[in-house]
Amino acid sequence: MQVNDSTRALWTTRLGFVLAAAGSAVGLGNIWKFPYITGQNGGGAFVLVYLGCIVVVGLPIMMAELMIGRHTRRDAVGAFIQLEHRRSFWLSAGWVSVAAAFIILSYYSVVAGWTLDYVFRALAGSFTGQPAEAIEGIFDGLIGNGPRQLLWHVIFILLCLGIVIGGVQKGIERWSKILMPILLVLLVLLFLNGMFSKGAWEGIVFMFRPDFTKLTAGSVLEAMGHAFFTLSLGMAAMITYGSYLSRNENLLSASLRVVILDTMIALMAGLAIFPIVFSVGMAPGQGAGLVFKTIPVVFSKITGGYVLAILFFLLLAFAALTSAISLLEAQVAYLIDERGWGRKKATSFLAFLAFAAGVPTALSYNLLSDWTLIGDLTFFDSMDLIASNYLLPISGLLISIYVGWFWKGSEEKEELIAGDAGWIYPAWHFLIRFVSPTAVAIVLIFKAKDTGFFNWIASLF
């Protein structure tokens, strides 16, 4: 279905777009994952590599995705139909992205459900005055409890449904304008708390003093993979959000705003977390449990911990919500644009599917803990492996190769120079043609090797 500018709902203001796109980018990846992988990979040097990946791979691909969306004014699959034709190989880039959005939403909303659970536990004062083992046990208890996770999972999906059903302007943009400023205020409060704690200097040194001996090839791959995830690339979200962007906007400055906000928020989250972790003498390398185990223990020990815990888990929940709505919208746009569905029906249907697909995830560490899908991975870990390690890089690779080498004519150039950013074209073109695809291909090959993909192929013969 062809849609033109006068019939498609567009973001009402540039701020609306920036907040919605930054809302998509800023999520559990920034506040949960970035600090813990920084902790595991030794701090400063990892942060530097990550920043490099954001600039040379993340930013160019984000611009490419927004460009595709804005040019075609369609969802991720429809965009490639319009640019090529129905049977084109490049449609696979759209399909892989939408599939990734579907899979990621299913488990992202389970983890988001945990954050809601923790908001209520923080309100109830469950961490105050408890010994560390008891607090850490709360998390094990939660993931061991299927029904409780399912309840929060449904509640979270219903929140997403409630927002996305309102549409681009009255749903996503309006809520992003409410949730993102609150998120920023919460983060600034927690950041200041970190900076005034006695572990402040240790935290700063940990994050910013590079020690390259701690950097491994694996850390570099992790940094690159995370740059993708944190900017919501390869998941149809930015193509879809780009399709609601006005042609008068300068793509470079719009993308830069989103990338800078996302990066600043990840760094501030690290500076909110590490100083207080150090101030109570705990270690930063706990891994995935950093936010759900270490942090509540820290809050139980510091003054003001009751209030800080509430603020922190609210921050996580809001960040997760604005990201999840972009994953839902990316799929809803497909049903609306390509299948002619109404928004209400499309949103309700996909929210139900996301809920259903998330059920085995919520049961992965309890009822279904013996059920392994890929190797010895649970359903949850298998979904994460498929989406984050394969689908995202594959779609990023296809998109960068398509935009760099196969987008016919000068359309993409015109898209870019439309907002007076002509000078950036040569640099962007170089990155998207050579640097981004090479970097993403390397990540993909190594991840495939690490996760035994080649052995699996060999075993078939």
Give residues with Cβ within 8 angstroms of 386, minimum separation 6.
103, 374
Q: What is the dihedral of CA 126, 128, 131, 133, to 10 degrees?
A: 40
Window contacting ligand PFF (CB under 6 A); options: 193-201, 229-237, 307-315, 437-445: 229-237
The phi-psi region of residue 409 (left if phi > 0; otherwise alpha if psi is between -120 and 50; otherwise beta) is left
Contact of 237 with 396, CB cutoff 8 Å:
no
Interatomic CA distance for residues 453 and 392, integer angstroms: 16
What's the min distance (Å) between Cβ of 39 and ligand PFF? 17
What letter represents residue 148's amino acid?
A: R
Q: Does 20 bind ligand PFF (CB under 6 A)?
A: no
For position 300 contacting ligand PFF by CB under 6 A, the verdict is no
Distance, CA of 299 to chain centre:
26
Taking the complex as a whole, the smallest distance from the CB of residue 101 to ligand PFF amounts, in Å, to 6
Determine the Cα–Cα distance for residues 36 and 43; give it in Å rounded to an integer.
Answer: 10
Is residue 230 close enough to count as binding ligand PFF by CB under 6 A? Answer: yes
Do residues 409 and 417 make contact, with C-beta atoms less than 8 angstroms apart?
no
* Nearest approach, Cβ of residue 392 and ligand PFF (Å): 8
> Per CB under 6 A, which region of 49-57, 117-125, 322-330, 381-389 contacts ligand PFF?
322-330
Whole-angstrom CA distances from 342 to 101, 329, 334, 337 are 20, 13, 11, 9
Q: Give residues 395-424 in contact with ligand PFF (rule: CB under 6 A).
A: none
- Choose between 26 and 368: whose C-beta lies nearer to ligand PFF: 26
Q: Which stretch binds ligand PFF (CB under 6 A): 64-72, 204-212, 227-235, 409-417?
A: 227-235
Shortest Cβ 28–ligand PFF spacing (Å): 4
240 part of the interface to ligand PFF, by CB under 6 A = no
Q: Specify whether the CB–CB gap between 35 and 277 falls below 8 A.
A: no
Residue 233 Cβ vs ligand PFF, minimum distance, rounded to whole Å: 7
Q: Closer to ligand PFF by CB, 258 or 297: give it.
A: 258
Quick one: tokens of 209?
């003093």
101-140: burial string, b at 16+ Cβ within 10 Å, e else: bbbbbbbbbbbbbbbbbbbebbeeebbeebebeebbebbe
Rg (CA), the chain: 21
Query: How many angstroms separate the CA atoms of 26 and 187, rounded?
Result: 12
3-class secondary-structure state, position 212: helix
Query: Contact between 323 and ligand PFF (CB under 6 A)?
Result: yes
Q: How buried is residue 272: exposed, middle or buried, by Cβ count under 10 Å (0-12/13-18/19+)?
A: buried
Structure tokens at 73: 């004014």
Q: Please report whether residue 232 would count as binding ligand PFF according to CB under 6 A.
A: yes
Query: What does the buried/exposed string (b/e) look like for 212-227 if buried means 16 or more CB atoms within 10 Å of the residue's CB?
Result: eeebeeebbbbbbbbb
Q: Which is nearer to ligand PFF, 137 or 162 (CB)?
A: 162
Closer of 24 and 347 to ligand PFF (Cβ): 24
Closer residue to ligand PFF (CB): 327 or 368:
327
Which of 77, 160, 227, 327 is close enough to bind ligand PFF by CB under 6 A?
327
Determine the interface stretch with ligand PFF among 166-174, 226-234, 285-293, 432-440 (rule: CB under 6 A): 226-234
The whole-angstrom separation of Cα 326 and Cα 21 is: 8
Would you say 223 or 282 has its CB closer to ligand PFF? 223
Query: Should residue 326 be labelled a site residue for ligand PFF when binding is judged by CB under 6 A?
Result: yes
Question: Interface with ligand PFF includes 382 (CB under 6 A)?
Answer: no
Under the binding rule (CB under 6 A), the answer on residue 190 touching ligand PFF is: no
Smallest distance, ligand PFF to C-beta of residue 262, A: 7
Q: Is 193 in the site for ligand PFF (CB under 6 A)?
A: no
Task: For residues 360 and 372, give the distance between their C-alpha atoms in angstroms, rounded to a whole number.
Answer: 11
Task: Give me the 26-65 binding string for ligand PFF, x by CB under 6 A, dash otherwise.
Answer: -xxxx-----------------------------------
Contact 235, 101 (CB under 8 A): yes
Owner of token pair 């780009």: 242
CB of 104 to ligand PFF, least distance (A): 6
Which ranges of 340-391 does DSSP label H, i.e. alpha helix?
343-362, 379-384
Least distance between ligand PFF and beta carbon 253 (Å): 20
Tokens of 16: 């609306």
103 binds ligand PFF (CB under 6 A): no
Among 78-86, 114-122, 232-240, 439-447, the segment contacting ligand PFF (CB under 6 A): 232-240
Interface segment toward ligand PFF; rule CB under 6 A; list 10-18, 19-27, 282-290, 437-445: 19-27
Using CB under 6 A, which of the segments 2-10, 199-207, 217-225, 323-331 binds ligand PFF? 323-331
CB of 330 to ligand PFF, least distance (A): 6
Q: Which of 95, 61, 91, 88 is nearest to 396 (CA)?
A: 61
Footprint of ligand PFF on this chain (CB under 6 A)? 24-25, 27-30, 101, 104, 229-230, 232, 235, 237, 323, 326-327
